[in-house]
Amino acid sequence: MGSRAVRSKETPATEVAGLVLFALAALLLLSQFSYSPWEVSFIKEPPNPTTNWVGPVGLHAAWVAFMGCGAAAYLLPLLAAVGGALAFWTRGFGLIRFLILGLVMVLAAAGLADWAEGMLGGWAAAKELESPGGVVGEALNRMLLGRFLGPVGAPLVLVTIYFTALILLLRIRPLKMIRDAGPWILEMIYRWQMARADVQMALGLADAARRILTALSDPPDPKKAIAFELGRRAKLEAARDYLRRGEYTATLDTLEELEQAWAPERMSLEVGLLRAKVFKGRGEYPRAVSLCRRLLSVAGGANIEDARAELLYTLIETERAMGRTQQADREFARLLEEHPLSEAAARGKEAWGMPEEQGVSP
């Protein structure tokens, strides 16, 4: 029953109204764009030959619009196009309601154009107009609102009227849009700061990257340090388990949770190693190589030898998968030189032999 009621509002007449509004928007735009006041007999006698793209009808339609509403006449083709879109792609389009609200917007804009004569005076002179708001704008701003509300109150009321009509016309909810946009804006800022930190890491500026990341989240509560570390270890183990099962999306989601809890985790070799393995597993080799090199350039501190060796091993595997054998051999020699007793070095020797055998000195 409800769906039938909604569909009953979609009639051929609505679609025809939309088509007419689109055509009207095009005609108004062309006539205004090619308008010359010297072709109107009321302004110049004899007038210049008509060159308006919509002919005499377009010429006089543009003249009437500019004389009546001034610069606000440019809203007419825009509103007609918006009306056509609403008629085609929204349900329950009301033509009368649209025309009334559109008229209110044009009237308010004409009053504002007259108020902004200091900025639009040159334009009005070029169009042979006494006021940039036209006859309507001049009457509304100077003779009505300006007389009772003054030069500050009048434009304030006109702006309020304009945006009220716009909200009702488009049926938008500004406060809801602002609330919905808030988390999105914060997310964009967060990702931008993460990207800044990545750039600092790529340049080897570990301290600068750490400052950026530390500012993105509150430090863990010292009183809950043990619980925080246990939770961190549990998430890392869960990420490793997802990775072993080939569930790459779940792995990245778990690593994101770690970084959201404490942003400097982005510099952690444990987190970075798991992310690099995800990229390698998905065939995103350039991302894996870039991440490995970025982390290796800032890695430092104690108890990271195994993680650093594993990161080098992952980098070597990725380079070989990309067919970059020489680079892989150089990184392998580096692995043997910096971490000769690591498990990663032992696996490398078993898989690829010693660098000397391949013509690369360690």
CATH code for the domain of 350: 1.25.40
Q: Poorest-confidence range of 181-190, 241-250, 254-263?
A: 181-190
Residue range 169-186: mean pLDDT, rounded: 83
- Nearest Cα neighbor of 263 from 325, 191, 199 is 191
pLDDT at 132: 95
Number of residues written out for the chain:
362
Q: How many domains does the chain have?
A: 3
Tell me, yes or no, whether 242 lies in a domain. no
Same domain, 184 and 117: no
Instruction: Establish if 235 belongs to a structural domain.
Output: no
36-92 pLDDT, tens digit each: 999 998 888 888 898 999 999 999 999 999 999 999 999 999 999 999 998 888 877
Which residues are CB-neighbours of 335 under 8 A, at least 6 positions away? 309, 312, 313, 316, 342, 344, 345, 348
Regarding whether 127 and 208 lie in a shared domain, the answer is no
Q: Say yes or no: 191 and 164 in one domain.
A: no
Is the per-residue pLDDT at 5 higher than 50? no
> Is the predicted pLDDT of residue 211 greater than 80, yes or no?
yes
Average pLDDT of span 233-237: 93
- With 50 as the cut, is the pLDDT of residue 358 above it? no
Mean pLDDT of 12-24: 88
Which of 65, 111, 99 shows the shortest CA–CA distance to 168? 99
What is the C-alpha to C-alpha distance for residues 218 and 35, in angstroms, rounded to an integer?
61
Full DSSP string of 130-194: SSTTHHHHHIIIIIIIHHHHHHHHHHHHHHHHHHHHHHHHHT--HHHHHHHHHHHHHHHHHHHHH
9 pLDDT tier (thresholds 50, 70, 90): low
pTM score? 0.56
Higher confidence at residue 177 or residue 340? 340
What DSSP state is assigned to residue 311?
H
Q: Please give the residue that has the higher pLDDT: either 180 or 342.
A: 342
> How many CB atoms lie under 10 A from the CB of residue 342?
19
The answer on pLDDT for 142 being more than 60 is yes
With beta carbons less than 8 A apart as the criterion, state whether 255 and 272 touch.
no
Query: Do 36 and 97 share a structural domain?
Result: yes
Q: Which helix (H) or strand (E) holds 24?
A: helix 12-33
Q: What is the mean pLDDT of residues 117-123?
A: 92
Using the 3D structure, point to which of 106, 140, 172 is the last residue of a domain: 172
Q: Which domain holds residue 328?
A: 268-362
